[in-house]
Each structure stands twice: as C-alpha cells, then as structure tokens.
Amino acid sequence: ALNTPTWRDLKAAFEDAKADVAVHGAILTGSGDKAFIAGADIGELAHADAYEAEESSRFGQEVLSLVENLGKPVIAA
C-alpha cells in the first residue's frame, strides 16, 4: 500500500531521476506477487484527521505531478 514513507521514497527517487542527465527514463515496479499497487494505506488514513488526510492527498498529488512532468519516459511494470 502507498503509505507516507513510500510516497516520500517515490518523490526522492523521481527527483533524483529528473536531475540526473544520465537517466533517460524510469521503470517503476511493485514488489510481491499479489498486486502492483494495492492503493492507499487505509490503516494509516483511518488514524488521520481531516487536515492530515488532506495533506496526505496533496503530497500524493505532488508526487504524481512530478512523475507526469518528469520530462523522461516512465514505465509502470
């Protein structure tokens, strides 16, 4: 599931990929054998208040916007 530490790791990885001229694209893979991404970490969100939930949503959108505007191909496999 996509929890806060995972979102932070994704942001850092894609920022690094964007800044590195030697990187010409990125491949994002999941681990495990059940699903590529199970979605949001519902357990984490269940303990969040409205403000925290909104901040989490905005941060996730920020990361997805970074991926969308990376300027390099991104493959989800």
User: If one looks up domain 4-76 in CATH, what number appears?
Assistant: 3.90.226.10
pLDDT tens by residue, 18-53: 999 999 999 998 887 777 787 888 999 899 999 999
Domain boundaries, the chain: 4-76
Q: What is the mean pLDDT of residues 4-31?
A: 95
pLDDT of res. 77: 85
Nearest to 63 by CA among 22, 2, 1: 2
Q: Which helix (H) or strand (E) holds 27?
A: strand 26-28
The token pair that represents 42 in the structure block: 């519902």
Counts of helices then strands in the chain (DSSP H, E): 3, 2
13 phi, psi to nearest 5 deg? -65, -45
pLDDT of res. 31: 82
Across the chain, what does the average pLDDT equal? Answer: 93
pLDDT of res. 39: 83
